[in-house]
């Protein structure tokens, strides 16, 4: 009996095709839908990851350069007038928005309070831009394994139906459906793991950058 099962398994393994493309083509419409959703989610997640990586690399460098130039300048107003209009840096945008309030202020009475409010609003606006699409990463990280699990359950259910219809428990009947099912789970994890890691990493980077903006703002208020 064991010899028959072993020979059957070897024969099936040599003839069956378990390539990713074959598993996808062989899957039913439900499993295919699950796989397509996970593939799209994974591609979009990686696009966000690459975009955020480049963004933080860029703004950390540009903000560092901006801060160095600012503290070396003769005055805040002189430095403001020397800035280009198309400067694309969150810290520079926070500074420019705040300096407009300082320049337009007819009196310095309560200027510190007004400037503090403006800085808080400007920082929040810049951080909202930086934090864009974090929700998608968090959603993929938390839901992709369950979407893959749904595909797994559905594929295994189809395998049992095939067994019931054919009344045959051979590997040729059982293995394809189980392979499709496990492929859905693997794809769900493949989409979720990078999304979770990236979300945690970029959330930490955002907090650090927000603290950097707040530190600059406090120092800026002290010299106005």
> What's the pTM value of the predicted model, to 2 decimals?
0.80
User: What pLDDT does residue 140 have?
Assistant: 96
Structure tokens of 97? 């928005």
Contact between 34 and 184 under an 8 Å Cβ cutoff? The reply is yes
Contact between 194 and 45 under an 8 Å Cβ cutoff? The reply is yes
179 contacts: CB under 8 Å, gap ≥ 6: 18, 23
DSSP 27: S
User: What pLDDT does residue 190 have?
Assistant: 94
- On the 0-12 / 13-18 / 19+ scale of CB atoms within 10 A, 185 is buried
Tell me the pLDDT tens digit for each residue of 32-66: 888 899 999 999 999 999 999 999 999 999 999 99
d(CA 141, CA 163): 34
Structure tokens of 46? 């990686």
| Complete DSSP assignment for 162-215 | HHHHHT--SHHHHHHHHHHHHHHHHHHHHHHHHHHHHHHHHHHHHHHHHHHHHH
- Provide mean pLDDT across the span 83-109: 81
Q: Which residue has the higher pLDDT, 199 or 174?
A: 199
Tell me the pLDDT tens digit for each residue of 122-181: 999 999 999 999 999 999 999 999 999 998 888 888 777 777 777 766 666 667 677 777
Count CB atoms within 10 A of the CB of residue 46: 14
Closest CA relative to residue 195, chosen from 70, 50, 62: 50
Q: Judge whether residue 11 has pLDDT over 60.
A: no
d(CA 106, CA 86): 27
d(CA 123, CA 211): 10
């Amino acid at each position: 009996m064991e010899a028959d099962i072993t020979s059957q398994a070897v024969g099936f393994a040599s003839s069956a095709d378990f390539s990713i493309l074959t598993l996808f083509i062989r899957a039913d419409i439900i499993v295919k839908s699950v796989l397509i959703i996970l593939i799209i989610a994974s591609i979009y997640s990686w696009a966000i990851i690459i975009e955020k990586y480049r963004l933080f690399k860029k703004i950390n460098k540009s903000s560092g350069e901006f801060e160095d130039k600012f503290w070396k300048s003769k005055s805040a107003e002189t430095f403001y007038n020397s800035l280009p209009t198309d400067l694309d840096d969150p810290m520079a945008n926070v500074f420019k928005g705040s300096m407009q309030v300082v320049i337009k202020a007819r009196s310095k009475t309560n200027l510190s309070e007004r400037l503090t409010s403006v800085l808080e609003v400007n920082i929040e606006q810049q951080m909202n831009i930086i934090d864009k699409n974090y929700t998608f990463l968090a959603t993929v990280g938390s839901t992709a394994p369950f979407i893959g699990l749904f595909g797994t359950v559905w594929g295994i259910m189809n395998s049992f139906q095939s067994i019931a219809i054919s009344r045959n428990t051979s590997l040729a009947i059982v293995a394809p459906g189980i392979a499709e099912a496990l492929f859905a789970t693997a794809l769900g994890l493949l989409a979720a793991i990078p999304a979770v890691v990236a979300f945690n990493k970029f959330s930490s980077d955002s907090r650090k950058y927000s603290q950097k903006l707040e530190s600059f703002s406090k120092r800026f208020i002290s010299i106005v």
